[in-house]
């Protein structure tokens, strides 16, 4: 006998065939009490009535199945998923507004190319209306304007600015990234309004955030998830050698908190610290600029909401390692070399985008990414390249980034340390692609 409804294995749906079969069996039993045999042939009026009722009951079973699975994060959708998020204090977030701006060069010198790098911050006048460019733009005296995509730093409708609102490049970024323009200057404007900020994240993204929520107020995993939920954060490495935030230890409740705190003995009133190494998207500034909130400050703000008194995080920026490739690429005859080179770089950036702290850059993955680009026939002499880390950043404070570039041998992977995040930028000077035809 089949079980339907809520069972040990979950909800078993009763389909149309099973519902109709039960209805016909009940009809036979009812007519049998009268000594009669009903006509249940496919074309009989009684069968048609039972089929109509069975269709309605089968739809009701589907609704019951939906209701059952709406109680679980892994299977809930729509409003049901929102209600489950409310239970753990996690609401569905808005998206980032997107649009396009036109970068315009003025006073450019003939023969010189001016590059506005990816991640340049442009501003509208309102609070929270800062945007990062999503691609690099090369401007010359003969090609003075180019449209590039931008994305807001702040979620929500505040980023849906009307046309003509974006009027300047962030002064802090201009001073650092555009300091070598000389007599030239770069202006910015948006001819069309931005959109998308009022939209909300889809069920899949929201469900993933709910599944990652720690149900314990303060553990190592809870601290890690709190930081990962900050916009712009890619990965977190938490170092807590004394176990100060891990209340899940079996001996945690055995300590006298008046004398010994957490899992190690220390003096009364002495603050407890633990280290958080944070990798973030390169477009997000680490420290707050004039209009863009920094990753560092936003992490501290979120941790302050949940940390116990006397427990303090030491937030450290991970070593973001620029990686690139040097290779000889065989392309089809008649190919547009500039467009094909850009396509190869974009494909490599997409292939390496999912790497995390300590994730090695695989030679095989780079080769595969290059040969998958339409128009590429083969790749030879491919070397993975990297900048060294900013020496001593993790342990000894701020030290200038070294400029020497290391080329790995053909076939060799780039091995990353636990505190290093490989970053592949399409406009980086590390790339050396030689495009040749057979």
Neighbours of 232 (CB within 10 A): 20
pTM of the model: 0.70
The domain segmentation of the chain, as residue ranges, is 5-69, 96-189, 214-317, 319-436
Domain 214-317 has CATH 2.40.160: no
At 239-283, the pLDDT tens digits run 765 554 444 445 444 545 444 444 455 555 566 778 888 999 888
Q: So what's the pLDDT on residue 216?
A: 67
CA distance 141 to 207: 49
CA distance 222 to 245: 9
CA distance 278 to 224: 10
Q: So what's the pLDDT on residue 394?
A: 41
Contact 121, 170 (CB under 8 A): yes
Q: So what's the pLDDT on residue 389?
A: 62
The overall longest dimension of the chain from CA atoms, in Å, is 105
- What lies within 8 Å, CB to CB, of 233 at 6+ separation is 227, 278, 279, 280, 295, 299
CA distance 328 to 378: 9
Give the mean pLDDT per block of 10 residues along the chain (438 residues).
Answer: 78 86 86 83 86 88 87 88 86 93 90 86 90 90 92 92 91 76 87 93 89 73 86 85 50 48 51 83 86 90 83 86 89 85 87 84 90 90 80 39 72 87 79 86
- What lies within 8 Å, CB to CB, of 364 at 6+ separation is none
φ, ψ of residue 73 to 5 degrees: the values are -60, -40
Q: How many residues does the chain have?
A: 438
CA distance 192 to 72: 42
Place of tokens 């496919």: 42
Place of tokens 């230890």: 249
């Amino acid at each position: 006998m089949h079980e339907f409804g809520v069972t040990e294995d979950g909800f078993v749906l009763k389909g149309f065939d099973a519902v109709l079969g039960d209805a016909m069996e009940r009809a036979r039993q009812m007519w049998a009490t009268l000594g009669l045999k009903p006509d249940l042939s496919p074309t009989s009026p009684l069968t048609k009535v039972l089929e109509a009722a069975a269709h309605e009951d089968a739809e009701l079973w589907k609704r019951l199945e939906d209701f059952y699975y709406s109680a679980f994060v892994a299977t809930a959708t729509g409003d049901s998923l929102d209600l489950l998020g409310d239970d753990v204090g996690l609401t569905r977030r808005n998206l980032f507004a997107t649009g396009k701006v036109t970068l315009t060069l003025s006073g450019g010198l003939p023969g010189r190319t001016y590059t506005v790098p990816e991640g340049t911050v442009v501003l509208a006048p309102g609070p929270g209306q800062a945007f990062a460019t999503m691609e690099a733009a090369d401007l010359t005296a003969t090609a003075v304007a180019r449209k590039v995509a931008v994305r807001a730093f702040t979620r929500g409708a505040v980023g849906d600015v009307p046309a003509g609102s974006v009027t300047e490049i962030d002064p802090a970024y201009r001073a650092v990234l555009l300091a070598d323009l000389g007599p030239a200057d770069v202006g910015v404007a948006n001819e069309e309004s931005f959109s998308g900020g009022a939209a909300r994240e889809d069920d899949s993204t929201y469900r993933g955030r709910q599944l990652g929520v720690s149900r314990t107020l303060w553990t190592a995993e809870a601290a890690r998830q709190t930081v990962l939920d900050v916009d712009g954060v890619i990965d977190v490495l938490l170092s807590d050698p004394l176990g100060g935030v891990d209340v899940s230890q079996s001996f945690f409740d055995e300590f006298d908190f008046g004398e010994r705190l957490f899992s190690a003995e220390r003096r009364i009133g002495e603050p407890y610290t633990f280290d958080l190494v944070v990798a973030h998207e390169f477009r997000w500034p680490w420290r707050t600029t004039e209009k863009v909130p920094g990753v560092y400050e936003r992490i501290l703000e979120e941790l302050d909401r949940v940390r116990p008194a006397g427990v303090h995080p030491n937030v450290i920026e991970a070593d973001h390692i620029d990686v690139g490739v040097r290779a000889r690429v065989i392309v089809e005859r008649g190919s547009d070399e500039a467009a094909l080179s850009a396509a190869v770089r974009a494909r490599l950036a997409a292939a390496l985008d999912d790497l995390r702290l300590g994730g090695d850059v695989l030679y095989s993955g780079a080769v595969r990414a290059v040969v998958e680009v339409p128009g590429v026939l083969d790749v030879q002499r491919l070397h993975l390249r990297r900048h060294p880390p900013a020496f001593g950043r993790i342990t000894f404070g701020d030290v200038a980034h070294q400029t020497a570039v290391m080329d790995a041998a053909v076939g060799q992977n780039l091995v990353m340390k636990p505190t290093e995040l490989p970053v592949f930028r399409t406009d980086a000077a590390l790339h050396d692609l030689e495009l040749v035809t057979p």
